């Protein structure tokens, strides 16, 4: 059932100067545009570095960043924890990508080995891994989401607590980084997928929006799905063959 709103949906892009290294601004643009195409009022709100994060946003987007900007962003995010908690209690959604994903956990390990406190929105800890993971990433989440595509570029390894659920199972990636990826929680998604992830995966964008506005009218996403199909194919043939073989074996 769709939700009637009197006010515009406020999509918040948090600290784009610090957490905007990998083009994750595109996630905000996609959310706003897909709402407007459906005649929903939507507003992109940028929270500049150093400003308090308001508790009046409907979607909070935390993007990727390099080590020093990530440390600077963590302090501002922690100081706004109460406002973010208040917004989430009132139904706000969160998408946290790469550095943003690390920052919503309990702690992460900085480049010099120092452990930095995170927001603690989820039960997760990030430490430095033995190698950097760079390349295309293909992930199979639980229904109703389809297979997702993204590009990862990170050295951290995030360990989820026993009560947390991964976003999905890794079907293909470059390097050895584990069999699961990301996290999905109550109106919250954490992931290492850039690309940006929402332009690559329109169904994921609509999934997040549905948490805020309810059921959404279908859109013609032919171009977006063509992009998704191309990226699934590019550099992931081995992983997709493995996925298909496993499916065939499972069916007997």
What digits encode the pLDDT tens for the residues 196-219? 999 999 999 999 999 999 999 999
Q: Give the predicted TM-score (pTM) of the model.
A: 0.91
The domains of the chain, with CATH numbers, are: 9-251 (3.40.50.880)
Residue 249's pLDDT is 61
Q: Is 232 in contact with 224 (CB distance < 8 Å)?
A: no
Overall average pLDDT of the 118-122 stretch: 97
Q: Is the dihedral of CA 67, 68, 74, 77 positive or negative?
A: negative
Highest mean pLDDT among 54-58, 130-134, 223-227: 54-58
Q: Which of 37-41, 152-156, 238-242, 246-250 has the lowest mean pLDDT?
A: 238-242
Check whether 101 has a pLDDT greater than 50. Answer: yes
H or E segment to which residue 148 belongs = strand 148-160
Round the average pLDDT of the chain to a whole number and report it.
Answer: 91
| Mean pLDDT lowest among 85-89, 177-181, 187-191 | 177-181
User: What pLDDT does residue 244 have?
Assistant: 54
Residues 136 and 205: their CA atoms lie apart, in Å, by: 19
- DSSP letter, residue 200: H
More confident: 111 or 138: 138
Question: Residue 250: pLDDT band by 50, 70, 90 thresholds?
Answer: low
- Model confidence pLDDT, tens digit, residues 67-84: 899 999 999 999 999 999
């Amino acid at each position: 059932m769709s939700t009637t709103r009197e006010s515009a949906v406020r999509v918040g892009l948090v600290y784009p100067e610090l957490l905007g290294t990998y083009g994750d601004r595109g996630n905000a643009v996609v959310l706003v545009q897909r709402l407007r195409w459906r005649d929903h009022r939507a507003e992109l709100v940028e929270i500049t570095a150093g400003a308090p994060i308001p508790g009046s946003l409907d979607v909070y987007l935390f993007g990727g960043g390099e080590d020093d900007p990530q440390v600077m962003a963590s302090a501002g995010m922690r100081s706004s924890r109460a406002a973010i908690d208040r917004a989430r209690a009132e139904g706000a959604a969160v998408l946290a990508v790469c550095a943003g994903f690390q920052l919503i956990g309990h702690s992460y390990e900085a480049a010099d080995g120092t452990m930095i406190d995170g927001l603690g929105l989820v039960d997760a800890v990030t430490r430095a891994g033995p190698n950097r993971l760079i390349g295309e990433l293909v992930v199979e989440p639980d229904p109703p989401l389809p297979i997702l595509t993204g590009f990862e570029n990170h050295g951290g390894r995030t360990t989820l607590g026993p009560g947390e659920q991964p976003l999905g199972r890794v079907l293909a990636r470059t390097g050895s980084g584990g069999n699961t990826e990301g996290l999905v929680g109550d109106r919250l998604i954490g992931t290492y997928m850039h690309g940006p992830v929402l332009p690559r995966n329109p169904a994921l964008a609509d999934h997040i929006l549905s948490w805020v506005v309810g059921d959404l009218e279908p859109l013609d996403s032919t171009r977006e799905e063509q992009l998704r199909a191309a990226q699934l194919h590019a550099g992931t043939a081995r992983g997709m063959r493995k996925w298909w073989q496993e499916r065939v074996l499972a069916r007997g």
